[in-house]
């Protein structure tokens, strides 16, 4: 496990997220059912500028469903999601539907952000996509590489709130560490679902939201062993 003091030096700086209001997102009394299945109800929390919250819960507890509600990709049966005036949400959902066949990685970075090609390639490098990979057809990337490209696009995309649903699932251990390093230095707000204790540790969450109960607590290191279980 890598502590903050052992974290590798990052030579590239990610672009700063645009400023957000002090309260980035508020969820009030959210409920969602699918037919007879009440996934959750009464989920209430808010998240402030620069905070990191990890959502924990067993398979089927409603973590992905909750992120979809927060991202506006599904609607709640009850309750409200209110984003701050200056909040811009970037949602990572594993389906990689934003990655187009026939366009290079560098094209994808250009589509995501006005940063120059040199910076874009440096950011891709931080996510483990080095050198001439930049010119490969993104449609031919492996699953893990698509994950890295999607995350690289998100962090340069002018968002200040990232909703990340199990972003390290397709990644090998060195890639998990690289992505953890890259995201740990990003000063925006993050809501994360992950069963990967090292990755959660690297992101140093402030708070934890337990699903399906919706209970919010301060995160402490003793919860890392629960990350794997829940």
Please choose, out of 56-64, 87-95, 140-148, 220-228, the segment that lies near ligand ATP by the rule CB under 6 A: 56-64
Q: How far is the CB of 80 from ligand ATP (least distance, A)?
A: 19
DSSP β-ladder status, 52-56 and 189-193: parallel
Nearer to Mg ion, 69 or 124 (CB): 69
Residues within window 64-123 making contact with Mg ion, judged by CB under 5 A:
64
Q: 3-state SS of the chain: helix, strand, coil percent to 5? A: 35, 25, 40
8 Å CB contact between 193 and 164: yes
Nearer to ligand ATP, 57 or 205 (CB): 57
Residues within window 29-68 making contact with Mg ion, judged by CB under 5 A:
63-64
Residues within window 10-39 making contact with ligand ATP, judged by CB under 6 A:
34, 37, 39
DSSP 56: E
Q: Please report, for residues 67, 87, 146, 212, 223, the alpha-carbon distance to residue 33 in angstroms, rounded to integers and kept in the order given.
A: 14, 27, 31, 12, 28
Q: How far is the CB of 166 from Mg ion (least distance, A)?
A: 6
Describe the crossing of helices 173-184 and 143-156 by its angle, rounded to 10 degrees.
0
**Residue 84 DSSP SS3:** coil
Position 60 contacts ligand ATP (CB under 6 A):
yes
- What distance lies between CA 133 and its chain's CA centroid? 23
Euclidean distance between the first and final Cα of the chain, in Å?
A: 19
Q: How far is the CB of 76 from ligand ATP (least distance, A)?
A: 13
Describe the crossing of helices 143-156 and 105-112 by its angle, rounded to 10 degrees.
30
Position 63 contacts ligand ATP (CB under 6 A):
yes
Q: Which among Mg ion, ligand ATP, none contacts residue 57 (Cβ within 5 to 8 A by kind)?
A: ligand ATP
Among 20, 41, 64, 175, binds ligand ATP (CB under 6 A): 64
Position 57 contacts ligand ATP (CB under 6 A):
yes
Q: Which among ligand ATP, Mg ion, none contacts residue 184 (Cβ within 5 to 8 A by kind)?
A: none
* Residue numbers at the binding site for ligand ATP (CB under 6 A): 34, 37, 39, 57, 59-65
């Amino acid at each position: 496990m890598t502590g903050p003091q052992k974290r590798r030096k990052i030579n590239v700086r990610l672009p700063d997220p645009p400023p957000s209001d002090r309260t980035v997102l508020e969820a009030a009394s959210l409920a969602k059912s699918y037919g007879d299945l009440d996934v959750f109800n009464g989920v209430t929390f808010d998240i402030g500028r620069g905070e990191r919250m990890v959502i924990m819960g067993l398979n089927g507890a409603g973590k992905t469903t909750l992120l979809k509600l927060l991202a506006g990709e599904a609607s709640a049966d009850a309750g409200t999601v209110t984003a701050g005036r200056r909040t811009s949400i970037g949602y990572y959902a594993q389906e990689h539907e934003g990655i187009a066949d026939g366009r290079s990685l560098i094209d994808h970075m250009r589509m995501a952000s006005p940063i120059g090609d040199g910076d874009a390639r440096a950011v891709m490098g931080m996510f483990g996509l080095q050198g001439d990979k930049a010119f490969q057809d993104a449609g031919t990337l492996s699953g893990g590489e698509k994950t890295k490209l999607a995350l690289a696009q998100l962090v340069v995309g002018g968002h200040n709130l990232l909703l990340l649903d199990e972003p390290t699932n397709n990644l090998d251990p060195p890639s998990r560490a690289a992505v953890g390093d890259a995201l740990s230095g990003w000063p925006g707000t993050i809501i994360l679902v992950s069963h990967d204790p090292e990755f959660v540790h690297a992101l140093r969450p402030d708070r934890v939201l337990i699903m399906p109960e919706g209970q919010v607590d301060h995160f402490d290191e003793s919860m890392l062993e629960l990350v794997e279980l829940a």
